[in-house]
Structure 1
Amino acid sequence: MKKIGLFLTFAVFAFIISACNANKDSTPQGDEEAVPVSGHTPVSVNVLNTEGAKIGKASLSETKEGVKIDLKAEEMEPGIKAIHIHETAKCDPPDFKSAGAHFNPGHREHGFENPKGFHAGDLPNIEISDKGTVNVSIVAPNVTLQQGEKSLLDEDGSALVIHEKADDYKTDPAGNAGDRIACGTIGK
């Protein structure tokens, strides 16, 4: 009986500690190594600037944790930038408005810190180095490359869009991230 009581006390303590740690940072992180799901071919995305020139490439692959986005780009303005998945696979320069709004099959508001959010296409900010380059991996846990409601490869595809400023993670519809400065189409 003592062992059961000790076990229950430990289980409750572990649950409380994990709940406290879960609230420390509500922004999903992409630092964990995503485990690839076998049998799925990565999707290659060319990233264009506002002049329509290729400045980078992203590779999207299905993992057990969600879609892993490996992004490498250059010739960008240094600083913290928002990156989002948008609803349509169209990247018409110079403003990339053809990509539509954020990918949002759940019809929620924008932002990890918004109590009515967040969009499935919301992603953590990225940092462009002083040399104008970025090399980052992000896991988007609420989307898939497989068929279904949250598929980035639906009938009209989707787009990866980088904005001129950081996402504030709370302001609907786009986190006050400013203009769209780079875009890549995600399609079959």
Structure 2
Amino acid sequence: MVVFFIKPDLSSLAMFMNFLSKASDAIFPQVEAAQKMSNRAVAVLRGDVVTGTIWITQNSESDPAVISGEIKGLTPGLHGFHVHQFGDSTNGCISAGPHFNPFGKTHGGPNSEVRHVGDLGNVEAGADGVAKINITDKLITLYGANTVIGRSMVVHAGQDDLGTGVGDKAEESKKTGNAGARAACGVIALAAPQ
């Protein structure tokens, strides 16, 4: 058995420490810049006829998120609007999965005490088929384990009943709000800083 003893070379150690110092100076500003970018996200919605761009901004982890934007090509009236579990569009909007629901709640409206995190209620399209979006929400977040970044934003063909369906519609109401087919969807991604 051969044993080697390495005598520390102070000049090599000093060079290594200098390298680490310069590397951290280069890395940490990039990390800070990425954190500043994470307070803004975008989803570009695409469907057969329906398109849109949705922005989500959140100034800090404790502030509510503001969801804004515009969706075109809708039929006039109310349309369910949700964040869905997956940022997957490999099989169209159906690949987005169910509503984003990290706390295992039943479906509700945006002001309901019990709701999925992804339940944003309805958006209303005018006679021109355009829905202007301006929602402030306390459960949607761009930070932490329950971030919506990497998930999907979906607008539905029909109105969301906000979990209040009765009779034969009650069971599905507590899952989806009976909002119908998925008219358009898009992955929620980090947006470039303004």
Structure 1 length-normalised TM? 0.68
Structure 1 unaligned spans of 5+: 1-37
Match of 1:161 among 123, 142, 154: 154
Mapped partners of 1:67, 1:47: distance in 2? 19
1:179 paired residue number: 181
2:48 alignment partner AA: T
Deviations 1:96-134 (A, max 9, x none): 110010000001111139x89310110121101100111
How much is the aligned-residue C-alpha RMSD, in angstroms?
2.5
**% same residue:** 27
1:8 paired residue number: none
Mapped partners of 1:91, 1:48: distance in 2? 10
- Residues 1:102 and 2:95 are matched in the alignment: no
The structure whose residues are more often helix, as a share, is: 2
1:61 alignment partner AA: T
Any residues of structure 2 matched to 1:4-153 within 5 Å, and which? 39-40=36-37, 41-50=39-48, 55-63=51-59, 64-92=62-90, 94=92, 96-112=93-109, 117-148=114-145, 150-153=146-149
Question: Over alpha carbons, which structure has the higher Rg?
Answer: 2
2:162 alignment partner AA: Y
Deviation at 1:79, TM superposition (A): 1.0
Secondary structure of the residue aligned to 1:98 is helix
Deviations 1:79-101 (A, max 9, x none): 1111011011123465x110010
Mapped partners of 2:58, 2:99: distance in 1? 20
Mapped partners of 2:63, 2:76: distance in 1? 29
Mapped partners of 1:186, 1:129: distance in 2? 25
2:122 alignment partner AA: N
Mapped partners of 1:48, 1:93: distance in 2? 13
Structure 2 unaligned spans of 5+: 1-34, 164-172
> Would you say how many aligned residue pairs link Structure 1 and Structure 2?
144
